[in-house]
């Protein structure tokens, strides 16, 4: 079947988007196995999402390096083989031709920027006769923001934009343009994006689904699997300390403590809710350029058993962030597309399985999130 579902990345030349694009092209060409693709599990595939082969990728970015060049750099860092990049060179160049220059803070007023993003989305849809386009934000993390009246209510927001004001953080500007263009939106970053009340209202009004936020790919994934074990065995966790070392563009962005606040907030959310009580423990993120795309997380959990006996466990996780994130990004695009086909609107709580800070209710426990996801898939699968 030809591509009928557009996947539009914000941050299309970043590590996650480039790895997802290489992955989708490699799977479609039969050059890679579908490892890490949650949507291929029979319990999820029952929802009948579009296939990876049905996705056509485009997007926005603000860097000039082409997608083949970015893929070569990632291959140089050991994320995938250079032979794969050579075999996919033409397809990567074609995908690069579908990337448009993104918008940045301070470039004109936000009404113009929203119009530009909307025009690019409409052009992508028309040029390739796409049935639908899902927008996925994998761009640089933004710092948290204070709510203002314009960010709290969609009518206020429209009034502010019409008056030539610029009230939106960039991630939410992209989300606004996507929703106004009839596109479901996936927030894979911890940036404000569609989480602002005004944007959530807009999604309801437009009858569109959205999902977020901040992909759960490494240390937080382990926490959400491990913490329920302590909770169900009634062992008291006294402290849980987490140290993260990462390189890459994400590591560079998170070296800024103001930006890192978004990430530490979303990473810190799950433990207390799973364990049912606050837990002491620092959570550090340090930028180590030498690590490239690799991330090391070292966690130390101190807990006690009957009669207050003290024990501890430690784990070390060494993950290639982009390789872990890429299949999830493809899963999310496919499931959000299917949600739109099924007439779902608002935050997709059932996709909480994929996120550190799940929107739309549901807990943080990985097992519970899996049950919610597969129940939803069974329901969606039976709708036509």
Ligand X SMILES: NC(=O)c1ccc[n+]([C@@H]2O[C@H](COP(=O)([O-])OP(=O)(O)OC[C@H]3O[C@@H](n4cnc5c(N)ncnc54)[C@H](O)[C@@H]3O)[C@@H](O)[C@H]2O)c1
Q: If we measure between CA atoms, which residue out of 358, 380, 379, 383 comes closest to residue 368?
A: 358
HSE-CB of 148 using CA atoms within 13 angstroms: 11
Between 68 and 249, whose beta carbon lies closer to ligand X? 249
Helices (H), the chain: 15-28, 42-45, 67-76, 82-87, 89-96, 110-127, 149-152, 154-162, 170-180, 197-206, 219-232, 248-254, 257-275, 321-341, 366-381
Residue 23 within binding range of ligand X, rule CB under 6 A: no
Residue 297 within binding range of ligand X, rule CB under 6 A: no
Between 298 and 379, whose beta carbon lies closer to ligand X? 298
Residue 372 sits at the vertex; the CA angle it makes with 370 and 378, to the nearest 5 degrees, is 100
Between 293 and 344, whose beta carbon lies closer to ligand X? 293
Give the interface size with ligand X as a residue count (CB under 6 A).
30
Residue among 102, 193, 268, 352 that touches ligand X (CB under 6 A): 102
Residue 220 within binding range of ligand X, rule CB under 6 A: no
Residue 110 within binding range of ligand X, rule CB under 6 A: no
Between 209 and 292, whose beta carbon lies closer to ligand X? 292
Q: C-beta of 271: minimal distance to ligand X in Å?
A: 17
Q: How far is CA 213 from CA 102, 171, 365, in A?
A: 21, 12, 16
Residue among 3, 7, 16, 121 that touches ligand X (CB under 6 A): 16
Between 237 and 253, whose beta carbon lies closer to ligand X? 253
Contact string (CB under 6 A) for ligand X, positions 346-375, x = contact:
------------------------------
DSSP notation for 335-368: HHHHHHHTT--EE-GGGGGGBSS-SSS--S-HHH
Region label for 175, one of left (φ > 0), alpha (ψ between -120 and 50) or beta (otherwise)? alpha
Q: How far is CA 23 from CA 74, 88, 120, 188, in A?
A: 12, 10, 24, 17
Residue among 136, 178, 226, 324 that touches ligand X (CB under 6 A): 324
Which one of 22-30, 36-44, 210-218, 309-317 is the stretch in contact with ligand X (CB under 6 A)? 210-218
Residue among 54, 120, 250, 331 that touches ligand X (CB under 6 A): 250
Residue among 184, 194, 247, 249 that touches ligand X (CB under 6 A): 249
Binding residues (CB under 6 A) for ligand X: these are 10-11, 13-16, 60-63, 102-104, 138-141, 170, 188-189, 214-215, 217, 248-250, 321-322, 324-325
């Amino acid at each position: 079947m030809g591509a009928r579902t557009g996947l539009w990345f914000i941050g299309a030349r970043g590590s996650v988007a480039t790895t997802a694009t290489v992955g989708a092209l490699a799977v479609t060409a039969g050059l890679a196995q579908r490892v890490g693709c949650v949507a291929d599990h029979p319990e999820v595939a029952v929802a009948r999402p579009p296939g990876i082969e049905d996705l056509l990728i485009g997007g926005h970015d603000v860097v000039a390096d082409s997608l083949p060049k970015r893929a070569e750099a990632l291959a140089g860092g050991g994320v995938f083989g250079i032979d794969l990049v050579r075999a996919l060179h033409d397809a990567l160049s074609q995908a690069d031709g579908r990337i448009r220059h993104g918008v940045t803070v301070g470039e004109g007023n936000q009404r113009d920027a929203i119009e530009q993003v909307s025009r690019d989305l409409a052009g992508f849809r028309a040029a390739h006769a796409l049935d639908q386009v899902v927008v996925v934000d994998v761009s640089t993390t933004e710092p948290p923001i204070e709510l203002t009246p314009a960010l709290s209510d969609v009518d206020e927001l429209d009034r502010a934009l019409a008056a030539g004001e610029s009230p939106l953080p960039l991630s939410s500007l992209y989300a606004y343009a996507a929703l106004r263009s009839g596109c479901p939106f996936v927030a894979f970053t911890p940036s404000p994006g569609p989480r602002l009340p005004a944007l959530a209202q807009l999604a309801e009004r437009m009858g569109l689904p959205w999902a977020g936020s901040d992909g759960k790919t490494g240390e937080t994934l382990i926490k959400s699997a491990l913490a329920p074990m302590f909770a169900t065995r009634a062992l008291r966790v006294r402290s849980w300390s987490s140290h993260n070392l990462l390189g890459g563009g994400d590591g560079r962005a998170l070296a800024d403590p103001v930006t890192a606040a978004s990430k530490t907030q979303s990473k810190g959310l799950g433990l207390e809710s799973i364990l049912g009580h606050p837990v002491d423990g620092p959570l550090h993120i340090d930028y180590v350029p030498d690590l490239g795309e690799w991330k090391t997380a070292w966690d130390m959990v101190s807990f006690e058993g009957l009669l207050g006996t003290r024990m501890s466990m430690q784990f070390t996780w060494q993950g290639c962030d982009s390789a872990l994130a890429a299949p999830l990004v493809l899963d999310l695009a496919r499931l959000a597309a299917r949600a739109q086909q099924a007439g779902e609107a608002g935050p997709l709580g059932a996709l909480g399985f994929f996120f550190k800070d799940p929107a739309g209710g549901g807990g943080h426990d990985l097992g519970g999130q899996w049950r919610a996801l597969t129940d939803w898939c069974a329901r969606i699968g039976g709708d036509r």
